[in-house]
């Protein structure tokens, strides 16, 4: 059997709690298919406050050696001035996405049988957002000028390259071709005219290569309407880094809640390890109480296994999660109870 060499970054808040459950389930799911080795990396806001390290070069180098990374969530006390300016989010999470060229941020949404939707008439909800992961307004390009004066100016420059857009657009087309043949580009071409025109032109240029796929376009504001009123119209959405961030929290709500929303930061070329994580954050409001739903982390582990060419193990996890969702009811369960229940279905 093959080996699967994982780096584990639990992070802060509920991150370590949900990651423990994802690992618990992953270990059972791959038993027989792969031998798993796990190396834990104590990174995050807490680690930074204790040691001064956000993400050293040596740690980055060590992480690069693994097959894949299982990530929980990071983010400490928002009122702590030592963590101001998103230094952990930028210096750790975004640093990893950029350094490991995670140009695809894959975020699937589905409404499972048994799960209540906040929408009165959701119809069939089954779509994926392919969020660009290495460009856009996330690159940190910009600055504050004339700081402290009444004439202060702040800029946040979005970077969009033809190369960066084309690779994520191609991935999205391939996803659509393997699903229901529909791709929706979401942008704001009526206002963000420079970046919008580039995204549209790349989609138009690639489209003929995927003749079976119908291409659609929505402005991001209108996309939020249709996500809430008619989500079944969506199959694959491709969009930039920031629009994708916002739309996928909305998508999570549509799919039954943020505790169910999984994601994969993928380097499809395989030059660097991919990293999966729940869409949610460290949830300081419920941290340390075993209240978090680990399902998003568990489904993220399934994305990792798909990406690592272990599709049978991934499918087993999804089937166990679906069975758990169908019978879950409304009685609250502890984080570890959910993990135990899903792992038990795999045995």
Please select the residue that binds Mn ion; options are 245, 277, 306, 324, rule is CB under 5 A: 245
On whether 293 is known to bind a ligand per the annotation, the reply is yes
Six token digits for residue 339 = 């993990």
Buried/exposed 1-23: b ≥16 CB within 10 Å, e otherwise:
eeebbbbbbbbbbbbbbbbbbbb
- Give the binding range for ligand NAD (CB under 6 A) out of 56-64, 156-164, 198-206, 282-290: 282-290
Q: Which of residues 281-340 bind ligand IPM (CB under 6 A)?
A: 281
**How far apart are alpha carbons 245 and 215 in whole angstroms?**
22
Q: Is 287 annotated as a binding residue?
A: yes
* Structure-token pair, residue 332: 């609250």
Catalytic residues: 138, 188, 221, 245, 249
List 53, 89, 126, 166, residue binding ligand NAD (CB under 6 A):
89
Partner that binds at residue 303, options ligand NAD, Mn ion, ligand IPM, none, CB closer than 5 to 8 Å by kind: none
Tell me the CA end-to-end span of the chain in Å, nearest whole number.
19
Burial class (CB in 10 A: 0-12, 13-18, 19+), 200: middle
Query: Could you give the CA distance from residue 308 to residue 302 in angstroms, rounded to a whole number?
Result: 10
Any idea what the Cα angle at residue 35 is, between residues 33 and 40, rounded to 5°? 135
Q: Which is nearer to ligand NAD, 130 or 169 (CB)?
A: 130
Q: What SS3 state is found at 289?
A: coil
Of 296, 303, 305, 342, which one interacts with ligand NAD (CB under 6 A)? 296
Contact 143/155 with Cβ under 8 angstroms? yes
Q: Which residue has the tokens 């989010």?
A: 89
**Site membership for ligand NAD, residue 136 (CB under 6 A):** no
- Rounded to a whole number of angstroms, the minimum distance from the CB of residue 71 to Mn ion is 13
Tell me the C-alpha distance between 18 and 9, whole Å. 11
User: Restricting to residues 46-105, which ones interact with ligand IPM according to CB under 6 A?
Assistant: 89, 93-94
Beta carbon of residue 124, minimum distance to ligand IPM (angstroms, whole number): 25
Q: What is the binding site for ligand IPM (CB under 6 A)?
A: 89, 93-94, 245, 279, 281
Q: What is the binding site for Mn ion (CB under 5 A)?
A: 245
Q: What is the binding site for ligand NAD (CB under 6 A)?
A: 14, 18, 73-75, 78, 89, 93, 258-259, 277, 280-286, 292-293, 296
């Amino acid at each position: 059997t093959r080996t699967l060499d994982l780096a584990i970054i639990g992070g802060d808040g509920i991150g370590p709690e949900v990651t423990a459950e994802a690992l618990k389930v992953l270990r059972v799911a791959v038993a027989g298919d792969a031998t798993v080795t796990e190396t834990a990396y104590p990174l995050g806001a807490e680690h930074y406050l204790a040691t001064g390290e956000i993400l050293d070069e040596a740690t980055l180098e060590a992480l690069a050696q693994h097959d894949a990374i299982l990530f929980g969530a990071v983010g400490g006390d928002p009122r702590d001035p030592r963590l101001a300016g998103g230094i952990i989010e930028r210096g750790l999470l975004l640093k990893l996405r950029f350094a490991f060229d995670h140009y695809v941020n894959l975020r699937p949404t589905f409404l499972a049988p048994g799960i209540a939707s906040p929408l009165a008439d959701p119809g069939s909800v089954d779509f994926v957002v392919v969020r660009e992961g290495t460009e856009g307004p996330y690159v940190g390009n910009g600055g504050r000028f004339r700081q402290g004066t009444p004439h202060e100016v702040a800029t946040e420059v979005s970077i969009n390259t033809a190369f960066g857009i084309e690779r994520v657009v191609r991935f999205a087309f391939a996803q659509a071709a393997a699903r229901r043949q529909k791709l929706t580009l979401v942008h704001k071409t009526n206002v963000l005219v420079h970046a919008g025109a580039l995204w549209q032109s790349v989609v138009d240029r690639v489209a003929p290569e995927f003749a079976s796929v119908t291409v659609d376009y929505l402005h991001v504001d209108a996309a939020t309407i249709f996500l809430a009123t008619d989500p079944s119209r969506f199959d694959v959405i491709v969009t930039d880094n920031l629009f994708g961030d916002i739309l996928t929290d909305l998508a999570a709500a549509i799919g039954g809640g943020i505790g169910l929303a999984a994601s994969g930061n993928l380097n499809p070329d395989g030059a660097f390890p991919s990293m999966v994580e729940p869409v949610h954050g460290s949830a300081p409001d419920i941290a340390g109480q075993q209240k978090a739903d680990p399902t998003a982390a568990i489904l993220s582990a399934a994305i990792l296994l798909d990406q690592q060419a272990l599709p049978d193990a991934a499918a087993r996890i999804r089937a166990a999660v679906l069975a758990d969702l169908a019978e879950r009811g409304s009685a609250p369960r502890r984080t570890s109870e959910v993990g135990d229940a899903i792992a038990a279905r795999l045995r």
